[in-house]
Amino acid sequence: MKTKCAILAMLTSLMCTTLYAQGPEPSTFLPGTHWIDPVKTEPAGTHYKLFSTPSRGANTKASYLIYLPANYDSSSQQRYPVLYWLHGGGGSQREGGWMVKQLDAQMRAGKIPPFIIVLVQGLADVRYINSKDGSRPVEDVIIKDLIPHIDSTYRTISRREGRAIEGMSMGGYGALRLGFEYPDLFGTVSALAPSVIQDMDAEPEVVREPFGNDRAFWDAVSPWNMAKLNASAIAGHTRIRILVGDKDERLLGPVTNYHELLLSLNITHQFSIIPGATHRYDQLFENAPFNALAFWQTVWPAK
């Protein structure tokens, strides 16, 4: 029995590493519920923090990492836009460390404006939804608990035009669905190789389980449905970027189909297929034939 369990564990780990490798530091799959990242390391420029999560019940907390611009302490009257960064499946808040490093360098060079970055601690594969059984209200924790905490704790621009959401893979799925479900909260949505596969049966059990293996629920909370439901509030009001690699064999087709859905809904957006990029967000930026980080200068132009 022990041998069989060991083999199963090895295969599960291999499957998850294959499906969810996201970027320069491949994720370690974390089964179960990890509202508080047990690893308290702080990628360069970030700070490890906890916040209360009343959406989960009394006396509960979750973690996040936050990056504050270099001039945050010295410019005590200045308010800053905020980017909420969502990690991929099997990942953690630390997955955004590479992105923070790149954006910090651009800010210090004066190429993009200074803004706050919040690296969200999602759960392993709940896709930033409230799980159907109600036990993992990830969406509510972000929308009802984390965002109000950030706005009350830091000097933010607490309006939709000062709030953006971005994510990779599962995080890209989350950025699209939350950004489009709450167009009154987010003025910008950026999705990096979002896992917008429509066929629930094409996903592994670990992905289907939070949806209760319920196809109707899967469809109802999807980014596809959110775009259709709120097209009038999104079109012409939300800045949208979608990047995917031409070597991302599993997601290139579905992401292209999602791009075509947005076109059919008259939702203007940037859609770029990046040559030579696989399912890694560092490759999406490094291989782009344009400065993909300059996107943030167009979102929040320097005054």
pLDDT at 23: 55
pLDDT tens digits along 143-194: 999 999 999 999 999 999 999 999 999 999 999 999 999 999 999 999 999 9
Which helix (H) or strand (E) is 167 found in, with range? Answer: strand 163-168
Which helix (H) or strand (E) is 102 found in, with range? Answer: helix 97-108
pLDDT tens digits along 203-221: 999 999 999 999 999 999 9
| Tokens 């945050």 found at | 72
Which letter does DSSP use for residue 45 in this model? T
Those residues with Cβ within 8 angstroms of residue 6's Cβ, 6 or more apart along the chain or in another chain: none
* 102 φ, ψ (degrees, to nearest 5): -65, -45
pLDDT tens digits along 39-86: 999 999 999 999 999 999 999 999 999 999 999 999 999 999 999 999
Q: How many CB atoms lie within 10 A of CB 84?
A: 27
pLDDT at 2: 39
The alpha carbon dihedral of 171, 181, 142, 55 has a sign of negative
Cα distance between residue 65 and residue 96, in whole Å: 9
Q: Where are the domains of the chain?
A: 34-299
Q: Which CATH class is domain 34-299?
A: alpha beta
